[in-house]
Amino acid sequence: MKTVKAVLLVGLLSASASSLADKIGVSMAYFDQNFLTIIRQSIDKEAKARGLAVQFEDARGDVGRQTDQVQSFIGAGVDAIIVDPVDSASTPQLTRLAQQAKIPLVYVNRTPGDKTLPPGVVFVGSDERESGTLQMEALAKMADYKGNVAIMIGNLTDAGALQRTKDVEQVVAKYPGMKVVQKQPANYARNEGMDLMLNWLGNGEAIDIVAANNDEMAIGAAMALAKSNKKLLIGGIDATPDGLQALAQDKIQVTVFQDAIGQGKTSVEVAQKLIAGEKVASHVWIPFELVTKENMQNYVKKSQ
């Protein structure tokens, strides 16, 4: 009987501890994008390490669905909310919902469209003014500062994609021997990057350099080039495991490390601080880092 009572007591204590754990609702723009998957897994791992309960929802690229998810989190009485925004322009509404409910809100990875973030709302991510700049400066140097550049844009609703594109354009404008000849979206997707590259090749575009807003589109461009036996300089951004593998195989020539694990981990850390009433800066920056074939081994473990 004592053993049974002890087991029951342990069970009750575990249930009690679980019910007392802070709860975080997480809405991700997509579950099926490689980089965002790494962030989601990092959030889950860090939340468990901190004894937090976490609920994930997939917005599937739908602003309305993401808004509904945030409202559901609020209705369920979560202690904090983490959002990877579908559309940067939609965040002011999400900010208002969280503020009205007095629930801390952390935006992760994709830059929110709010002009300013009020107390209790924080962005955890990387400064996109660095990403495309590091990428294009490296590609320009490899090309001896000459050549025609094509830009593959991510989601047009993502402020980060627009900033990365602007970065590339600003670098190209510095060098008289270079110019941007193509600029089209491929929605951060490998298959769309491949299709876009095949389209450019089919149209006979004179392209020397492809600057893609992420590794997936860069890999897609490399796949298209492999079919045509053409060799161009290709750059990606994110330094995902697949991106690093493509770099090692010289399918792409440069990428830029964006710390997905660090962003996920830090977003949970910030959420817990906000729950505890601690003051946190409105923007918590995690720097980008240039990755080439020479230093890529330093980033293999960081991206896993």
pLDDT tens for residues 52-101? 999 999 999 999 999 999 999 999 999 999 999 999 999 999 999 999 99
Give the C-alpha distances (Å, rounded to integers) separating 222 from 217, 225, 243, 274, 284.
9, 5, 11, 43, 34
Please tell me the predicted confidence (pLDDT) of residue 300: 86
Phi/psi at 79 (5° precision): -90, -20
CA distance linking residue 71 with residue 167, whole number of Å: 35
Residues of the chain with pLDDT under 50: 1-19
Please tell me the predicted confidence (pLDDT) of residue 9: 40
Global pTM reads: 0.80
Residue closest to 289 by CA, chosen among 122, 109, 133: 133
